[in-house]
Amino acid sequence: MTYLTKPKLHHPSLPTNKMGYTRRDYEAAVSTLCAGCGHDSISAAIIQACFQLDLPPHRIAKLSGIGCSSKTPTYFLGNSHGFNSVHGRMPSVLTGANLANRDLIYLGVSGDGDSASIGLGQFAHCIRRGVNMVYIVENNGVYGLTKGQFSATADKGSPSKRGTVNTDSAIDLVGLALQLGASFVARSFSGDKTQLVPLIEAAILHRGAAFIDCISPCVAFNNHAGSTKGFDYVREHNDAVNYLDVITPRDEITVTYEAGAVEDVTQHDGTVLRLRKLAKDYDVHDPAAAMRHLLERQSAGEIVTGLLYVERESEDLHQHLKTPGVPLKDLGEGELCPGSATLASLNASLR
Ligand SMILES: Cc1ncc(C[n+]2csc(CCOP(=O)(O)OP(=O)(O)O)c2C)c(N)n1
Ligand code: SF4
Ligand SMILES: [Mg+2]
């Protein structure tokens, strides 16, 4: 029962994208998560983003750890590559895959337990290395799969469903990602598709480590009064700095916006991220300002969402390591093994 497949037949009038695929071609098995779980909305947003970007599913690799959140790649992109790794170890598996084959689009899906508890070290190093990927944490503040223990992102003073109060300080993954040098940092809410879908699109088109912290309520264990990760709390305290439209080079720009409320950010591939600014003086290119804004709003009890930071001229690990443009997996023995004469001269140069 865990892997119920969806019927293959499509209604002939379903809209198709430029690849000729329907949205259904980006779906996968029927979800077995609890009805109403925020994670399912994030899966739907990923499907929508990949459909709208006309991505060939076989060019995407989705990787995850362990948790309800890490199960979700079974429920989207059924025609893509997938690897469900060990708890907290998705980042190193993703980094290795990315180094071996730079030609795929890497999507890392994780949970707050997976990334902020057991996998914190792995999270930190793949962000600081600038691995070209979209890293999404489906953040519910609990270990959902193991029945509701506090995770490291649970706010200090917030009660569990049974009334125990969390006495540990929370790790803010957005603040951490900024400090670690992520070149794209955003936070969103699973219940806000209008904000989330373009953020995922922009993160896919970004070169470098793109991190999205997505608050995703756990309806079974963390949606009660007093929880700061429940649907009601997030809706009441959501402080969006901006909303985004993604305009790829092949799109016609037809939308017009009020002057002063819009900022265009051009990415390396010519894609334009059009920010509809809500906080008009918010500077999306200043990580220190982003950090200040986060802390200020946090002390006022607000949860800041939107695109919080993006680097204009971002680089990735392959540029840092000066790897060849051809994926390493496609290199032959001649290129990978320079021969004993080269090795002898290298050794001689080090004596
Ligand atoms: C090495 C290891 N330690 C502990 C566990 C038990 N375990 C499984 S999932 C999980 C926490 C999952 O929490 P999170 O990543 O937040 O995902 P969620 O279920 O909340 O989406 C834990 C502790 C495990 N599977 N492997
Ligand atoms: S336990 Fe929580 S996180 Fe897991 S599927 Fe149910 S609602 Fe979602
Ligand atoms: Mg969790």
CA 341 to centroid of ligand 2, rounded, Å: 58
* Phi then psi dihedrals of residue 159, to 5 deg: -90, 150
Average pLDDT, the chain: 94
**Which residues have C-beta atoms less than 6 Å from ligand 1?**
66-69, 87, 111-114, 118, 138, 140, 142-146, 151
Which of 34, 87, 138 to mutate to test ligand 1, by most ligand atoms within 8 A of the CB atom? 87
**What tokens were used for 228?**
């700061």
C-beta separation of 125 from 164 below 8 A: no
**Tens digit of each residue's pLDDT (9 = 90 or more) over 318-335:** 999 999 999 999 999 888
**What tokens were used for 37?**
């779980």
Residue nearest to atom 2 of ligand 2 (CA): 218
Cβ–Cβ contacts within 10 Å for residue 19, how many?
13
Residue 2 has pLDDT above 70, yes or no: no
Residue nearest to atom 24 of ligand 1 (CA): 87
Q: What is the pTM of this model?
A: 0.95
User: What's the chain's length in residues?
Assistant: 351
Mean pLDDT of 128-141: 98
Q: Which of 151, 132, 271, 138 is nearest to 209 (CA)?
A: 132
**Tens digit of each residue's pLDDT (9 = 90 or more) over 55-114:** 999 999 999 999 999 999 999 999 999 999 999 999 999 999 999 999 999 999 999 999
Q: In sequence order, which ranges of 133-189 are alpha helices (DSSP H)?
A: 173-180
Residue 122 has pLDDT above 60, yes or no: yes
Residue 259 has pLDDT above 60, yes or no: no
The percentage of the chain sitting over the pLDDT mark of 90, rounded to a whole number, equals 87
CB neighbour list of residue 97: distance below 8 Å, 6 or more residues apart: 61, 63, 83, 104, 106
First vs last C-alpha separation in the chain = 63
CA 269 to centroid of ligand 1, rounded, Å: 37
250 pLDDT band, cuts 50/70/90, is confident
**Which residues have C-beta atoms less than 6 Å from ligand 2?**
33-34, 37, 39, 68, 140, 144-145, 218-221
pLDDT at 1: 46
